[in-house]
Each structure stands twice: as structure tokens, then as C-alpha cells.
Amino acid sequence: MQHDSKSLHLDNIEERLLPRIISKVFWDSDALIIVVNGRGQVLQFNPACERLTGYTMAEVCEQPIWDLLPGPEVTARVRQDIASMEAGTYPNRQVEPWITKDRAKVLISWSNTVLVDEESGVSLMIGVGSDVTDHTRANDAMKRSEARLDSVTKAAGDAIVTGDDKGRITGWNPAAERLFGYAKLEVLGKPLTLLIPSQFKPLHLSAFEHRRNPATLPVSGQPVEVLALRKGGAEFPVQLSLGSWEEGGQRCFVSIIRDLTEAKEAAVRHEALQVELEESLTKVLAGFLPICSHCKSIRDEKDNWSPLEDFIHERSDVTLSHGICPVCLKTHYSDLADD
């Protein structure tokens, strides 16, 4: 194969620059670069490794790599990885903990490769890594928070429904399933208007567009009473509390929904009972009222006798207190009366 002079010139330049490129990457890169032989001894340990671990190249050179590892389990795994270099079954990617000089534990994500010198038969493992400690801890913390939130929403007695900035349902707890009659898989990704009576949908869409606007105040404030829609099409009263937060540059929404059906029915029953009692008391007081001449008990419309105090208290909001009038005080308790 023939090469022109320009091509040969470029090839020579590349050959001369390659060692400098490799050296530049090794010494100046922020990536962790370590070279280990088949016995696990450290042969190269770049400045990024020194900054992270606190050890210098002189301190770790020809020392076994497992001196930087925590515990026998990790050490055994790395020993096996290095021993497998000869068989060519070395791991390509892995995350391993390291111990720094001040005994802090850090997590390193490694991308490994093996270099084999065919003449000498020597195999070297070259690892290029990055510190993922903070990232891993943040992910773990997020998973714990998500687990706690999931536990709370599952145990909540009120329906909890979350939605995205497109108005689609993204979260649906068991209480929401019981309240609305939809299984979780039936509603995920569906519009929130699925839960709103048709006559209120235009108002909801208008309010939702307003809340999506980052310039508006976050959703907050007192709970409101609205009508909601069950799976079968039945409308029912609920108490709705709204909240929002920013996630990935988008606004997300959460609704806490409490069924007011029983409370409304109880209020109606209480009001009817109050009217009935007032009417009964009015009839009794306006007509003939049988009263015992001796104990002053009163006979009601069902022919039951009860003390005057109980009769009045049961038929009105009046609570009677007891005392002694001046005449009775002088007549019956003259020793206590003032002269």
C-alpha cells in the first residue's frame, strides 16, 4: 500500500504526539486513573487519585490495591477480578468503595480494561473512575424519601391524587381508588378532568392554566368544597386541598380529597332534628302543659313524665342552673339568711 508524503508526515506527527496526549490525560485529568498488575500492586496512581484519597503515589506504589478497600468482602471481590485478568473475564464496569487516608468512605464508579504485553505475557488492569459518593447518597436519600411518601400515601385515609403540568394524573393512592371507584392503572396518564362534573370543567381548565403560570403564586390556602365525579357518573361533595412544587423545571400538583357525603347528610339530619324539636317545644309551650303539683315533673306528648329541667333542656338550647330565691331562703334556711 502506498502513502503520499503528506500522509506519512501526519502519521509521524501522531506517533510523536500520542505519548504526550496520554501523559496529559493521565496527569491533568480529573478522572481517577490507576494501573494495577496481576498481583494487585499499584503501578500508577494519578494526581486525581492522590487528591481524592489523600495518599501520594510514593505511598501506594507497589502496595496492594486492597489496602484502599474497606472490609474483606470487597477485598475478596477485587482479588477475584484481578486474578481473572489472565482469563479475559475481567469486569468492564463496577462501583466499588474506597477508603481515604483519613478513613472516609467514598464510592467510585470504575471502567476497567486490561492491557496485555504479548512478548512478556504481563497483564495490567487500567481503571478509569469517578467519585459518585454524593450522587449515590442523593439517590439513596431520594429513594428513602419516595419510600416514606409512598408509605404515607398508602396509609392515608384521604384520597391523594398527583398531576403534572399537562393536567394528567401521575399518582393515585388506595384511598382514591375507594373514593372514586377507579383502579390506579385505569387513571394514570388520564386527564384530571375525569374526576370533575362536566358543568365545572371549563372553570377547572381556566384555573389550571392560571396555576401553571410560574408568575402566579404557588397553589395554597384554605381547603375548598367542590363537587367531584365517581366512576359511575355520580356527583358527590368533597373537601379539596391543593399544593404544588417544581420538579425538573415543571410544576407538579397534589390534591388531598376528603369525602363530605356523610358530613353533609349528618348536617341535614341535625338541622331537621333541630327544626322538629323547636316545633315540638313550640306546640307544647303554646298549648296545655300537664305538670305535677308536687314534684313539678312535666308529662310530654308520649305520656312520659320527666323533670322540668330535663324537659326544657331536651327541647331547647337552654341549660338551667340552680339556686335559692330569697323567699325560700328565709322560709327553709332561715339560719343562713341575712337579717
Same-domain status, 251 and 273: no
Q: Is the pLDDT of residue 6 over 80?
A: no
Region 77-98 average pLDDT: 76
Q: How many structural domains does the chain have?
A: 3
Single-letter amino acid, residue 272: A
20 found inside a domain: yes
- Measured CA to CA, the distance from residue 129 to residue 53 in angstroms comes to 13
pLDDT over 90 percentage in the chain: 19
Greater model confidence, 88 or 279: 279
For residues 230 and 324, membership in a common domain is answered with: no
Q: What is the pLDDT of residues 270-322, one digit of tens each?
A: 888 887 777 766 665 555 667 777 777 777 777 788 887 777 777 666 666 77
Residue 337 inside a domain? The answer is no
- Domain extent for 130: 16-136
Where is 225: in which H helix or E strand? strand 224-229
Highest mean pLDDT among 174-188, 231-245, 324-338: 174-188
Cα–Cα distance, 234 to 57 (Å, whole number): 75
pLDDT of residue 219: 47
Question: Above 50 in pLDDT, residue 234?
Answer: yes
Answer yes or no: do 128 and 21 share one domain. yes
What's the chain's average pLDDT?
Answer: 79
Same structural domain for residues 31 and 132? yes
Alpha-carbon span 231 to 303, nearest angstrom:
51
pLDDT in tens, 13-70: 566 677 777 788 888 889 999 998 888 899 999 999 999 999 999 999 888 888 888 8
**Is pLDDT at 198 greater than 70 in this prediction?**
yes
Question: Residue 225 corresponds to which cell in the numbers above?
Answer: 368544597
Q: What is the CA radius of gyration of the chain?
A: 41
203 belongs to a structural domain: yes
- Domain final residue, candidates 213, 234, 259: 259
For residues 48 and 30, the answer to whether their CB atoms sit within 8 Å is yes
Mean pLDDT for the stretch of residues 253-266: 88
Q: Is the distance from CB of 156 to CB of 173 less than 8 angstroms?
A: yes
Residue of higher predicted confidence among 15 and 255: 255
Reported as a pLDDT band with limits 50, 70 and 90, residue 10 is: low
Residue 5 included in any domain:
no
The per-residue pLDDT for 1 is 47
How does 99-134 read in b/e, with b if 16+ C-beta sit within 10 Å? beeeeeebbbbbebebeeeeeeeebbbebbbebbbe
Q: Considering the domain boundaries, does residue 164 fall inside one?
A: yes
Residues 6+ apart with CB under 8 A from 301: 280, 283, 284
Q: What is the CATH number of the domain that holds 88?
A: 3.30.450.20
Averaged pLDDT, 179-193: 92
Residue 312 CA to residue 320 CA, distance in Å, equals 8
